[in-house]
């Protein structure tokens, strides 16, 4: 895949089921692995570990290890991670507007946001 396009590169970084949710949870401040695991119902420890490692490698998440017994590790967003918040917020807004929670919710807003912006 050609990742020269900025949209493609961003999608590569956050375009899976769990990464935007991890970023969403880290907005509230530092979290331990177990806290993230509890808040992300259904994620396996292996998947969470892989996603956090990928975000750490991309400098989106900072990982702090504390020399304690038992060992303690905390994750926080970096400036690069905080810069993703408008993207995550746009996803939230889009989902609330266009992706109903239930199949019964078939009402579509009379005026789409883009149409309103162009008016």
CA distance 100 to 113: 16
Interval 50-68: pLDDT, tens: 999 999 999 999 999 999 8
Bridge-partner residues for 75, per DSSP? 31, 63
| CA-to-CA dists, residue 79 to 29, 45, 71, angstroms | 13, 26, 26
- CA quadruple 65, 71, 77, 81: dihedral positive or negative? positive
Domain residue spans of the chain: 6-118
pLDDT tens-digit series, residues 28-41: 899 999 999 999 99
Q: How far apart are CA 49 and CA 111, in angstroms?
A: 41
Q: What pTM did the predictor assign?
A: 0.78
Residue 115 pLDDT > 70, yes or no?
no
Mean pLDDT of 80-104: 86
CATH, domain range 6-118 = 1.10.10.10
Provide the sign of the torsion angle of the four alpha carbons 33, 40, 49, 25, taken in this order: negative
């Amino acid at each position: 895949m050609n990742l020269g396009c900025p949209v493609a590169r961003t999608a590569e970084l956050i375009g899976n089921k769990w990464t935007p949710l991890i970023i969403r949870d880290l907005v509230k401040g530092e979290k331990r692995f177990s806290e993230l695991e509890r808040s992300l119902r259904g994620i396996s420890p292996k998947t969470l570990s892989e996603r956090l490692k990928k975000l750490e490698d991309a400098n989106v998440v900072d990982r702090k290890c504390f020399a304690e017994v038992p060992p303690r590790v905390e994750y926080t967003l970096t400036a690069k991670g905080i810069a993703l918040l408008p993207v995550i917020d746009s996803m939230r807004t889009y989902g609330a507007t266009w992706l109903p929670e239930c199949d019964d919710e078939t009402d579509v807003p009379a005026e789409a946001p883009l149409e309103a912006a162009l008016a």
